[in-house]
Each structure stands twice: as structure tokens, then as C-alpha cells.
Structure 1
Amino acid sequence: MRDVLIVGAGPTGLILALWLTRQGVGVRIIDKSVGPGETSRAMAVQARTLELYRQLDLAESVIAAGHPNLSLNLWARGKRRARVVIADSGGSATPYPFILIYPQDEHERLLVERLEALGVTVERQTELVAFEEKEDHVAARLRMPDGSEQLCEARYLAGCDGARSPIRHQMGASFEGGTYKHVFYVADVQVSGLEPPGEVHVALDSSDFVAVLSYGKADLGRLIGTVSDERAEHAEHLTFDDVGHRAIDGLGVKVNKVNWFSTYHVHHRVTDRFRLGRAFLLGDAAHVHSPVGGQGMNTGIADAINLAWKLAAVLKGQAPDSLLDSYQQERQAFARQLVETTDRVFTFVTAEGRFANVVRTRIAPVFASIAYKFEGVRGFLFRRVSQTAQNYRDSALSEGKAGSVQGGDRLPWVSGADNYRPLSTIGWQVHVYGAARPDLQGWCDQHGIPLHVFAWSRAHRKVGLAQDAAYLLRPDTYVALADPQASPVTLSRYLASRGYTLR
């Protein structure tokens, strides 16, 4: 019997398989497709994803294969109204102050290679037909490549099977939300005349908009835009020549060749159940939203990492089954907030009418240019888009506050202090910035938890850390407990109250 059966080998399913395998959990991963995708909608890899990729030594490989876009340009009515240098916004917040453009199909192939290196192969043309929960496992009926059926038993089932998720349907979970009337188009193109090259460009013109994401090579780029008039009713028959070009023309670029073009409808929905017994929903199976901000794939990856350490802890007998309930609590709250945020932004950039056009193309660009001059505004916007602002403060797993850092927060990164170096491992750890109490080392040794002590500096205070406090970090590098007294008694009480046995 396998520990976890993963259905769906997109980025979410592959990341779940990688994190579980690295923690010694036995997985089986299946996908009904014949191979990794040949085309790609998801393009952006956000800073928080790269931070978490350090745990599998993935970050540098992904960065080397992709193209860091260091600035974002906002255009309106044919003129560049604002330029946001992302390094200015996020350089003090993360080691990765940029938007990495890395097509999903290439991303998937890299993840498959890493998984195969760990001894796990994606079983292609294999489909889940149905499943039944038993007392201590899930019995899944699979359709194999030759059409025969096979019974697979696993302790848990992970549905990473996309927006039309059969697993979600069998769970009886709702998928409340709606569908935007606009139809999105995506096009891989060769362009010339884009200035500055190698950066992100967003152009607004009346109710038309387009985003240009640079691959950083051979004038290749990805165009993302919308079709909102009567042509949207026949989207499946559209070509690139049929979509509006006003925003594209406003950038002063020439599209020399269209390598790939596709249209699709976008939904904004969140399921009411991320967990039902031994079955879980992740990624698009649990939540979908507009592509504004490049959040979708990154959110699915975060789902996988959140669930992976919890499944590993329960399977190893280090935590009770109730730990798995926190997956829904933490990830559903974030998904709902994300859908609400991206919905507001998308509604703004596509709103129709004379007044909406004036606000979007005249007032908003001026406001953005002025607001960008303030460091606080720049930092806030970067943290939201990069997902480094994401926290679990309301989680039952979060406790305490030391400095301005609370339980549930992402551990602040301190430039030059290398305090993220220990985060390259998957496991619990304690950080102290300053001096550690003599009895704290003994407590950490007793529980098999590494203790990392960093010499105190003003840089630590600047990011909100408290001198000599103890920060107990979860395996996904979020702060579980922040204790200003660094008391082993408080640490023990935290673990005991949640039934953790980490040895």
C-alpha cells in the first residue's frame, strides 16, 4: 500500500510528490495525459515559491532556466506612465526581488526530471475512475493505458486534477463563484520594438489591455489579453488577427510572428472542502481565479508544500490526524482572499464605459506613478504579488509574538545575515537572534530540533525580530511559535497542546 496517491502531474502534483518523497513518504503519481504540457498558460514564478524551492535545491536551477524580469512598465494610451523597478520594491524583503518568467511546460519537465532522480516516475495515460474511503485507507479504481482497470490502495488521496476535478465531484464539494464574461487569449510571439526589452509591460487602452512577459531571448514574449465584444461568443474560432490590437499598438511594438495562440474562459471559484476524510484537493481543483498577478500556479505549489509536511508528520506518527484539518483552514482562507483581490483588479482593468476608461487610462497611471515614490507603498505591493506577505496568523498552529513577528508569519529574511541558509532543509528548527538561553540547546537536543543562533544586529531589529527571542519554525519555514522569553517550558507546552512527538 502506498502512503499517498497523487492524481494529476501538473506543477502542484509534482511538487507534492517531490516534497513527500524527500521526507521519506511513499507516493504514486498518475496523470491521464500522454506527457507534460506542450504549451503553457502559467508563466510567473514568484519570490515566495523560489524561497521554498531552496528546500529541494531547486531555486537556482529554476532561475537559470527562466528569465528574471527586474522591472514592470505601465502604459496607457500609447505612453509609458510608470516604471516599477522591482528590486527597489523587494530587495530588502527576499533574496529573489524579481518576477521570474519560466513557462509552465518547461517548469513541469524540470520537476519530472527531479522526481525521476528520486526514483519516482509519473504514470501517464492513467486515470482515476472512482475511489472509496475505507477505515484506514482509500481504495482507488484506476484505468490503465491499455484500458484495463486496477485497484490502488493508499493511505491518502491528493486531488491535483485541475479545475474540472473528478475527485472534487466525487467528494461532493461545491465550487462556488462565477465565470468572467471576458475571454482571455494567450500568444507566444516574436516581437520587435519593445522598450525596454526584457521587462514586463502592461498596456491599458479604453477597455482593452495587454500584458507582455519577456522570455529574455530572441525577442520572444508572451502576450496576455482579453476579448470582450461579440467575438468572445465564438472564441474557439478566433485567431490572433481577430483580437483587439489597440493596447498592443500603444506599446509601439511589431508582432513579427505568432508561434502559438489560444483562448480560454476564466473562472473565479473556491471549493468549500479542501479535505474530506482521507481525500484532499489542491491547486486548480480547489481554487481558480483570474491570471492577474501571476498567482495561480504559485498558489497551487504553496498548497502542496503546506500539505506535504503535515501528511509526512501524520504518516510517521509524529502528529495526530487533526493536524491535517489545518490544511483547509490555512489554504482556504488564502484562496478566498486571493480570488477577491484578483477579481477586484481584473474588474478594474476590464471595466467598460466612459468614466471607467478615464479612471483606468488617465487617473490610475498618475496615481501609480506618485505612489511608487513611497517606499512603504512599493514594499506593500511587492509583498502582495510575490506572496511573501502571506501568513497563517489565524491558524490554530500559530502562537505568540516576539518583536513584530507573530506565529504564522513567514520568517523575515535578513540581507547579509544568511538566516535563510538553514531553511534549505525540511524540518522543524529554532532560530534565536542574539544569545540563546543555556537550557534552550538542551531542549532542542531532546526533541531533535536544530538550534540556529545569529549574532544580533540592527538589521534584525529592522525586519521586526526581537533580540534573544526564540522562533520555532515549521517544516514549511513559517513561524509556528514566537516566544520573547525563549522558554523551553513554552516550547514544550506548544508541542504537547497539539500532540506533536517530533523524535
Structure 2
Amino acid sequence: MAQTDVLIVGAGPTGLALALWLTRQGVSARIIDKNNGPGEASRAMAVQARTLELYRQLDLAEAVVEAGYKTPAMNMWALGRHRARIPLGDAGRRVSAYPFVLIYPQDRHERLLVQQLQALAVDVEWRTELLSFEEGESHVTALLKQADGREEAVMATYLAGCDGARSRVRHQIGSGFEGGTYKQLFYVADVRVTGIEPAGEAHIAFDQSDFVLLLCYGEKDRYRLIGTVRDERAEHPEHLTFADVGHDAINGLNLKITEVYWFSTYRVHHRVTDHFRRGRAFLLGDAAHVHSPAGGQGMNTGILDANNLAWKLAAVVKGKAPDTLLDSYQIERQAFARKLVDTTDRLFTFVTAQGRFADFVRTRVAPLFASVAYKSGNVREYLFRAVSQTTLEYRHSPLSQGKAGEVHGGDRLPWLPGALADNYDSLAAIDWQVQVFGEAKADLTQWCAKHGIALHVFAWEHAYENTGVARNAAYLLRPDSYVALADPEGEACTLSRYFEEHGVLLPA
């Protein structure tokens, strides 16, 4: 019987990213998908700053940025009039090395991830379906159906369900998927557009109960169009064409659509599963949570699921941590998923609500507020943090301890740019490390050297005073780069005690 450390079901961005992080850590992963190959339609569009930060561990960040398109601004239209232009180019310049909104269609994203896996000698097994699985004391036995109809049994230490909203893994482990479905029917289309001004930017237009979002790919005249289908036409989506959808908001943009490359309709769900882990099976991405596309969070959230789980699986598979470490995956990611569903639900409800008052707020109040508020650098930065997922933290996780300055255990480490390099350069290593801003104590230096844990000391700068980090404190970072322990005293014994309490073996 074939064996692997982790069997990954589903080769969308979540499954592919999980396979990459595991393979980079020396964990064998087998990834299957019942489809014929990577997606050919650009579903998710935005790659958020936090995803790019974590992609540095996979040597992917710069490739994605180069292949994607930095959206210069969002324009707001109402009732056929241009009401506001919101610059997006440097909203997060004090927050991240990636302070922009990057558009990189999911189909291209998937193909890049597949290529990266192939470079590591891992091929996606397309047209291969999970039929069932059984859990044993030390492994999972999965029954697969190959492209030629042949059935194969595979033994894996763990199983990762990245198989979408209709997840077979989720159904078999009996995990619920509480939530609901919005009544609105959405359409999405890839189109060629002329006449739009300013060209190359994003546009959102409201016209009474109709709205449309226009996103630029970075290719001349080519855009993604997203909107809602109203009235009785929404009852029979299988018969709809682009000509059938409402064009009031589209016409309000004063543009001309000269070609429709792709058109589809879909309904939006908001659900979170009961169990992100059950035994040796895990749920990630859409198999664990689905929500409205507001804010471009879906694909990024799945990739961060993969980042969170991969280092924990690697530690347990290699015998460096107890199986109980894996319980923190559900604790950390389920809490974030529920918060995200609530947040996107409120935004989605605002955009799609019907009635005179809702129309008045969208077409009159919101554009005025956006135009005034976005002139404030603090407001721009706040909104960037909210959308970019750089505010995501795990403070309530059992793995998070301490506080030094304004940084708590569980936080994303503040990004601190330097003259030659930033403090995120060292985070490319998928391993435990310590960062100190100022001077490290001698016993801490000796302890890190003894145990093979990288210690990075940054000379204190006046600019650090407003970033939240404390001078001479020690920040122990997990392999996924989140702060595990923030010790204001920078003591070696505090770090040593952390590893003992969590049962994580030190390298030496």
C-alpha cells in the first residue's frame, strides 16, 4: 500500500499552498483533485499583503507581485456620477512591504503554485477522487479512484480536506456547516471594456438597488465585472446570459463592453464548520468556511489556514511536538473564520440591501464619507490593515504567551523596514527564531546558539518607538512567523520554559 505523511484532497490555492509548505519542511505530501487541471476562470482576484508576507517563505512573493497588478485607486460612482477617488497605492506603507491592493486572478495563481510544486518534484494527481477513508490508531487509509477508473488504497498519517464547500472530507467526518445562503444571485464576467475613466483603476457603481464592481487585470481594456441579478430573473440562473443582467449601474460608468469572454452566476454562502479537526482529518479553505466575497478575503483565508497548519503537522510528523499541538489549529483558525464571516456579512448586507433608505445611504452618504475619510492617512492605514489581514492575531491561543511593549503573544510581528533590509527577511526560514530590538542578553545569545535557534538582533532606532516593539525584549517567533512569546526581560529561561510547557523539542 502506498504511504505518505499527508494526503491533501483538493488542489485549489489552499491545497497547493499546504503542499508547498509541507514539502519545504521535508514532509511528504500527496495532493489529488477530481478536476482535469487548474481552474480556467479567474474566480478570486485579490492577493492580500499578509499572504504576500507569508509567501516569502515559499520564494513566491516577488513572482506574484510581478505577475499581478497593483490597483492604483478605487473610484466610487452613484447614479451615473463620479463621486470619489480613493488612492490605494501606498495605504499600508507603514504596515507592510506590500502596501498595495494586488489583483492576481486565481486561475493564474493556481498555475504558478502548480509549477512551484513541480519544481519540488511533486505533481498534482488530477482526475483522482477520494471515495472514502477510515481512521486507524496511527494512520488514515483512504480509497482513491484514479483517472482510469482503477481504485487505490493509500495510507497517510494525516488527511487534509481542501476540497471546497461541498467537501467530501467534511461530510465523512460528520462536521456541521452552520450558516445560510444569501438570497441575491451574483454574476461574474470577464469583459473587454472601452471608455472607462480613469482607465486601469477599480470602480464600484451604485444605481438605486443595482450595483457593479469593475476590477482591472492590468491588461489593456480587460476587466472583471461583478454584480447582482435582480427580480424574477434570479429564479432561473441556468438560463441567464450577460444580456439578461441589470445594466443600470454599468451604464452609469459611461463605458462600453465590446466583448464578454466568460460569464457565470453564483450564490453567496456564509458558513463555518463545527470542527476544523476531527482525529487525523483536517478541514481548510472553503471546506471549513465560506463567506461573501466582500473585501477579497476568501482565497487568502484558505492560504493562511494552510500556513497555520503546515508547521504544526511538520513538527508532529517529525516527532518534535505532541499530537496535541494540532488542536491549536482549530482554536486559532475557527475563531478568525467566525469573525470574518460576521464582518463580511455586515459589509455584504450594506452593499446589497434594498429600499429607499439603503439606496440613499449607498448613493449619497457613502461616497461623501469615503471621499472625506480617505484624505486622512490614519483612515487609509486602518482600512488597509482591516482588509490586508495584517491585524489577524492569535492572542487567545494556548500557544501565545506574554506581552512586550504593545506586542502580545499571538500577534503578527510588526514590520520594521531598515536601510538595507527589513526584519521580515529572516522570516523566510520556516523555523523557530528570536528577534531582539536593541541588545540581547548574554544568556539569551548562548541559549539560542546551544539550541540552534536563530537570533536576530536589530540595533535600536528612534523610529522603532512608535511601532509597538519594546527595547531589548525577546520575541520568540513560531515557524509561521507569528509571535509565540513576548518577553520584556529577554530572559533565556523564559524561552526554555515555553518549549517545556508545550512539549516542543528544541533542535539540540
TM, length-normalised to structure 1: 0.98
Q: Counterparts of 1:370-381 in structure 2 under 5 Å?
A: 370-381=372-383
Aligned length: 503
Structure 2 match to 1:303: 305
Which range moves more in the overlay, 387-396 or 77-86? 77-86
SS in 2 for 1:36: coil
1:369-413 deviations in Å (ceiling 9; x for gaps):
222233322211111111111111111111111111111111111
Structure 2 match to 1:499: 503
Q: 1:226 deviation in Å?
A: 1.0
Q: 1:82 deviation in Å?
A: 2.2
Contact 1:3 1:156 (8 Å CA) reproduced? yes
Match status 1:321 vs 2:312: no
Contact 1:181 1:228 (8 Å CA) reproduced? no
Q: 1:51 deviation in Å?
A: 0.6
Q: Counterparts of 1:255-334 in structure 2 under 5 Å?
A: 255-334=257-336
Structure 2 match to 1:488: 492
For the residues of structure 1 that align with 2:82 and 2:437, how far apart are their CA atoms? 44
Structure 2 match to 1:32: 34
Q: 1:81 deviation in Å?
A: 2.2
For the residues of structure 1 that align with 2:467 and 2:230, how far apart are their CA atoms? 44
SS in 1 for 2:412: coil
Contact 1:207 1:349 (8 Å CA) reproduced? no
Q: Please tell me the residue identity of whatever aligns with 1:304.
A: A
SS in 1 for 2:142: strand
For the residues of structure 2 that align with 1:81 and 1:402, how far apart are their CA atoms? 44
Structure 1 match to 2:449: 445
SS in 1 for 2:328: helix
Alpha carbon RMSD of aligned pairs, Å? 1.0
Structure 1 residues 369 and 155, CA gap change in structure 2 (3 angstroms): same
Q: Counterparts of 1:406-421 in structure 2 under 5 Å?
A: 406-416=408-418, 418-421=422-425
Q: Alignment identity in percent?
A: 68
Q: Please tell me the residue identity of whatever aligns with 1:437.
A: K
For the residues of structure 2 that align with 1:366 and 1:88, how far apart are their CA atoms? 22
SS in 1 for 2:219: coil
For the residues of structure 2 that align with 1:459 and 1:70, how far apart are their CA atoms? 28
For the residues of structure 1 that align with 2:99 and 2:309, how far apart are their CA atoms? 26
Q: Please tell me the residue identity of whatever aligns with 2:104.
A: Y
Contact 2:86 2:370 (8 Å CA) reproduced? no
Q: Counterparts of 1:427-438 in structure 2 under 5 Å?
A: 427-438=431-442
Structure 1 unaligned regions, length at least 5: none
Structure 2 match to 1:121: 123
Structure 2 unaligned regions, length at least 5: none
Q: 1:68 deviation in Å?
A: 1.2
TM, length-normalised to structure 2: 0.97
SS in 2 for 1:87: coil
Structure 2 match to 1:472: 476
Q: Counterparts of 1:110-189 in structure 2 under 5 Å?
A: 110-189=112-191
For the residues of structure 2 that align with 1:469 and 1:125, how far apart are their CA atoms? 52
Contact 1:401 1:484 (8 Å CA) reproduced? yes
SS in 2 for 1:263: strand
For the residues of structure 2 that align with 1:205 and 1:117, how far apart are their CA atoms? 49
For the residues of structure 2 that align with 1:200 and 1:317, how far apart are their CA atoms? 49
For the residues of structure 2 that align with 1:44 and 1:109, how far apart are their CA atoms? 16
Which range moves more in the overlay, 75-84 or 438-447? 75-84
For the residues of structure 1 that align with 2:437 and 2:72, how far apart are their CA atoms? 31
Contact 1:70 1:97 (8 Å CA) reproduced? no
